[in-house]
Amino acid sequence: MINTAQSFAFEAMEVIPDYQKSVRCIKRLAETNLINSQYEVATED
Report the 3 state secondary structure along 10-42.
HHHHHCCHHHCCCHHHHHHHHHHHHHCCCHHHH
pLDDT of residue 45: 64
pTM value > 0.75: no
**Largest Cα span, the chain:** 31
Taking only the tens place, the pLDDT of each residue in 1-45 is: 778 988 898 888 888 887 778 888 888 888 998 998 888 877 876
Predicted confidence at residue 2, as pLDDT, reads: 79
